[in-house]
Structure formats: structure tokens, C-alpha cells
Structure 1
Amino acid sequence: MSDKPIEGRMTAEGENEVVVFLIGMRINDFSAVRSWWPVARAMRPMLQELREDRAAGLLGSKTMMGGPREIYLVQYWESKEKLLAYAAAPDRNHHPAWAAFNRRLREGNGKVGFWHETFVVPAGAHEAIYINMPAYG
């Protein structure tokens, strides 16, 4: 996608269901780098893997900051089934990253927080308006 803004107002309509997946991490203790840095670093290979395999179902994603302590991603998926299949696949990057993260979470004494939310949006049940924005969402 280009970073160049497209002048004017645009709308986007989807004919299919879409899944919006929000996933984030909160750094509760900045000095506990061993707890949170591996978690932050693990996301890049997963996103790269998904970009290279379009059939996996990821339509797009954006990384965002929620203040100095929070990092989160907004992801758009073709279906909840494809999202769950990727998450559970033992031969994909998510599985070992999730296992390592769970170990750190148990050992970390609350130094890093994690959350995710999944929203299934039926076809025709969303609105998207963009003004002077590059291709987005």
C-alpha cells in the first residue's frame, strides 16, 4: 500500500463478513525487559508469515500505540475460522511464540499484560469513510 494520501472522500463497502481482531500488550514494568521484549519481537515474524500466505486469511493489519505502555494491532481477517486455524496450527509461527509467551507470563509476576478481542462483523454491517487518507483498513 502507498503512503500517499488519496484526495477527497472515499467509502469502502464489503460484500462479505469480516473479522476484526484486536490484540495488545501492556508493559507494566519497563525494567522487566526480559518479560516484554520477546513478546513484542515475536509479532513481526507472524505478520510476515501471514503477508506471504494470503490464503491464511489475514486481510490487513495496523500497529498502534496506546500511550507509552501499550502496543496493539488491529487485524482484519476473512473469517473467524481462518483466524483460529492460524492460531492453533503447530507448524506456524504463532504456536511456539504463544507457548513461550505463556511461560513468560507465568514467570513474570504481572510485569507484562496481554489481551485480545475478536469481533465478527456480518456482511453489510459496517461503515468505512476515509477523507484525504492513503489506502487504509
Structure 2
Amino acid sequence: MSVQIVPGRNTAAVEGDIVVFHIGLRLNRLRAISSWLPALRSMPRMLRELSEDKDSGLLGFKILYGSPRDFYIVQYWADKERLLAYAYQQDKQHRPAWAAFNRRARNGKQAVGIWHETYIVQAGNYETVYVDMPAYGLGAATGHVPVGRRGETSAERLEAGKKKK
């Protein structure tokens, strides 16, 4: 599998506020497969559904692994309204998966843990740089532009973001 390197110094092609959503799953009891496997399998379906809907608000995501027991996803959203709306939509994948997880969790004796963190980041309070990297993080979610368009240093890029507010 060949990875396309984006040459030079680049920054994410995003302007304005963003929402960073971290979500993870921890296998507390490895042998309790019937408790954690459905939860583990539900996330790819949700990500596929969101990725196929260009109006969902999901800009992109990255799946990371902490240990054999920990699964972790960083998601980038256009706004909190669409993130929250997705969580409650009855006709989408999340709501029934969450209800099923809660039913299993009541009987699962803490076999699986779920966590999430939501960060609403205002323009001017984030900056990015990628040097000779494949598309990654916020840059993978929004595209890249040469660093010079936003400033050569982190401080310059942060200041440029504040001016566009």
C-alpha cells in the first residue's frame, strides 16, 4: 500500500471554528466477547454513514489504537449542532447502537467501557503544521495549504486565525 506524501511544509485548509470529538472503547473483560463485539462493530457503520452524507458535518476522522484493549477515534466536525443532531437521530446508526450498548452494559458487569470528549475550538485557538507527511489529522479532514498562506510560525498561524474570526 503506497502512501502519498504531501511535500513541504503545509497547514490544514480550514478556517473558522471546528469541533474535535474523541471517542473510545476499552475492553475491560476480554472473554466477554458478546458484551464488547457489538459495540466495536457499530462504530465503522456509523463512520461509513457519516462519511457518505456530505451534509452530516463530519469533516474526517482518524482511528488510533492505544493498546490491545483500547480503540480510539478522533473526529473533526464542522459544528457542534450537527454532531449533537446525529447523536439523537432515530433513523441513523448511532441512536439504536447506543440503546443496544446500554442494554448490554446493564448486564455486562463492566465488560466494556465507552468514553468521549468534545472540544469546541474557536478560530485562532488552533494551528497545524505537517512536514513531508501524508494527509493526517485535521489536514486529512480539510485538505492542505502551504504554510506560507497562513504564516511561517505557529504564532503567526494562530494570529491569522484570530483575524478571520
Deviation track 1:106-137 (CA, whole Å, cap 9, x = no partner) reads 11101111100000000121011111211222
**Residue 3, structure 1, aligned to residue 3, structure 2:** yes
The share of aligned pairs that are identical, in percent, is 54
> What count of residue pairs does the alignment treat as equivalent?
136
User: 1:24 matched to which residue of 2?
Assistant: 24
Residue aligning to 2:69 = 69
CA–CA distance in structure 2, aligned partners of residues 32 and 68 of structure 1: 15
**Does 1 or 2 have the higher relative contact order (CA < 8 Å, sep 6+)?**
1
Aligned 1:22-101 pairs, distance under 5 A: 22-101=22-101
TM-score by length of 2: 0.79
- Alignment correspondent of 2:107: 107
CA distance in 2 between partners of 1:104 and 1:58 (Å): 28
Larger radius of gyration: 2
Provide Cα deviations, 1:14-34, integer angstroms capped at 9, x if missing partner: 321100000000001111111
TM-score (norm 1): 0.94
Residue 118 of structure 1 corresponds to: 118
Structure 2: which 5+ residue stretches go unaligned?
Answer: 138-165
1:8 positional shift: 2.2
Shift of 1:13: 5.2
RMSD: 1.3
Secondary structure of the residue aligned to 2:72 is: strand
Tell me the distance in 1 between the aligned counterparts of 2:46 and 2:12. Answer: 27
